[in-house]
């Protein structure tokens, strides 16, 4: 875990996060005391939380596999996003209001995710809502660079509260949302901000 966290911070201004000097001067077991890091009783990193900071780039691919909650929002991050490198035990992901880019491969999100906020970045499509995480409750991907005639979905997770593909005034970026088969159709209200006539 120490090596992973070292790589996670390697391009960040560690004077800010550690409060005492460069990361290399710290002992390997002190990452639990960094600003924005919360650990469990066994010193496993459970939460990474950075909001409105601008102290360098983080490496998402080096987050420890047992991480549960990750917020890196309004943090001036610019990097290619790859869902398959995220921690498999992740439950909450908030990367909104950065400059993450690349194809948004929602089908490769960690299986245990419950809330996902990826809006206001530079993501492109095509996107698919087939095979979403089984416990997913909230998904926001609006205000990106996704332009798509049809977004397909199959049977949605039982606990889904909303999926937000567009923001107010973005009605031309997604043509329609369509179930793969009649049995998968859901209440149009699930697709927040989408006109009901665009949901099939």
Give residue 147's domain range.
Answer: 98-200
User: Residue 154 corresponds to which tokens in the numbers above?
Assistant: 């199959």
Give residue 149's pLDDT: 96
**In this structure, is residue 177 part of a structural domain?**
yes
pLDDT range class, residue 33, cuts 50, 70, 90: confident
- Strands 69-73, 115-117: pairing kind: unpaired
pLDDT over 70 at 93, yes or no: yes
pLDDT range class, residue 22, cuts 50, 70, 90: very low
User: Residue 40 corresponds to which tokens in the numbers above?
Assistant: 């469990």
Helices and strands of the chain, counted as H and E runs: 2, 13
Both 126 and 174 in a single domain? Answer: yes
Give residue 26's pLDDT: 44
- Choice between 25 and 140, residue whose per-residue pLDDT is larger: 140
Express as a percent the part of the chain with pLDDT over 90.
76
Q: What share of the chain is helix, strand, coil (3-state, %, to 5)?
A: 20, 25, 55
Both 104 and 198 in a single domain? Answer: yes
**In this structure, is residue 82 part of a structural domain?**
no
Both 112 and 69 in a single domain? Answer: no
Residue among 112, 109, 136 at smallest CA distance from 123: 109
Burial class, 168, CB count within 10 angstroms (exposed 0-12 / middle 13-18 / buried 19+): exposed
**Helical (H) or strand (E) element with 168:** none
Last residue of a domain, one of 77, 112, 142: 77
What is the Cα Rg of the chain in Å? 18
Give residue 42's pLDDT: 87
Instruction: Quote the number of domains for the chain.
Output: 2
Give dist(CA 174, CA 159) in Å, integer: 24
Both 51 and 119 in a single domain? Answer: no
Both 67 and 119 in a single domain? Answer: no
Q: What are the pLDDT digits (tens) for 50-88? A: 999 888 899 999 999 999 999 999 999 999 999 999 999
pLDDT range class, residue 25, cuts 50, 70, 90: very low
Give residue 55's pLDDT: 82
């Amino acid at each position: 875990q120490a090596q992973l966290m070292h790589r996670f911070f390697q391009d960040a201004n560690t004077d800010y996060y550690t409060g005492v000097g460069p990361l290399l001067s710290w002992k390997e077991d002190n990452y639990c005391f960094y600003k924005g890091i919360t650990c469990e009783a066994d010193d496993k990193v459970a939460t990474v939380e950075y909001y409105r900071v601008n102290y360098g780039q983080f490496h998402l691919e080096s987050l420890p596999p047992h991480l549960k909650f990750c917020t890196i929002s309004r943090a001036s991050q610019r990097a290619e996003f790859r869902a398959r490198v995220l921690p498999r035990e992740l439950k909450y992901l908030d990367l909104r209001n950065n400059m993450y880019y690349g194809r948004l491969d929602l089908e490769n999100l960690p299986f245990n995710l419950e809330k996902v906020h990826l809006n206001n970045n530079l993501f492109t499509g095509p996107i698919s809502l087939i095979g979403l995480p089984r416990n997913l409750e909230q998904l926001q991907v609006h205000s990106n660079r996704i332009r798509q005639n049809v977004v397909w979905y199959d049977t949605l997770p039982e606990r889904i509260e909303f999926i937000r593909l567009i923001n107010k005034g973005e009605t031309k970026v997604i043509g329609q949302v369509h179930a793969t088969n009649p049995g998968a159709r859901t209440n149009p209200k699930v697709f927040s901000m989408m006109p009901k006539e665009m949901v099939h």
